Structure 1
């Protein structure tokens, strides 16, 4: 298996990973952390997908997509923290004044899980941030201490996933997801 991770410039591929089965459904589209909360709450139905389509045309796009050949198998939301909800999130601290990037969502399609694709996606997100001049990249995974994480909440990743990619714990947070505390993990890219 040769998984390739590329910038998420093709809307159809992002839609495959984070879009709803019904275009008018009010699902996340991975916008919850990417755009201001007020805008996120105001968007509904097909407007959510249209907003993602706009983000895919921006430079840089809203994340990265993993491919197995031509098949879309994964997604990671990654962008400068200043452009995300983490810029003003009171539960996730700022470690310093660096213009860090955030990776907030890692998803692997059913049927492709358990093959290490999340590790490849995180590596691809790091490479994407580095190629776009990020001095460091952060993630906010759960510190589940090896316990099972509900699949619907596993999108933030686990401490072990980030440790394996070379990140280190930089701070505690006051955020809790699925009963597990979230921690701030960081990787210096300089």
Structure 2
């Protein structure tokens, strides 16, 4: 009887293992969710430079007693442009929104806001990305819901669509208001 070389079996076994991982990933409860160690913890510091004429937000901004959204964005980010109408709608409803401009040219960032509208009650620049690292940001856009005591209630990575707004962001805001 001929002996089968282990090298012949390796490619099908590797393929089967990768297919299993792929299928397992497809059937997760929430494929869009990225884990965050910040949920239920105090929001990290906001060490931001000014962007434009206004003063950047401070840590006190996150502990003001009001539910706050912290939105990491950039002018070069196409998904940030997609989510901007939803951010503007939340501003129009009176929600406090802090903008963190991530690794962006200040003039282009201000042009973005001039073109699309400025939804932020306070805004600052994170030119070197240090604040984003502290918050665990993978990339822009990312949005955090923070309760009035400064506790992170939700992290959402990606653009906020109408569906995400209705099914993820608004429920988190309501939960933060209920606390």
Do both share a fold (TM > 0.5)? no
The structure that has the greater radius of gyration is 2
Q: TM-score, normalised by structure 2?
A: 0.32
Point out which structure has higher relative CO (alpha carbons under 8 A, 6+ apart). Answer: 2
Which structure: greater strand fraction?
1
Which structure: greater helix fraction?
2
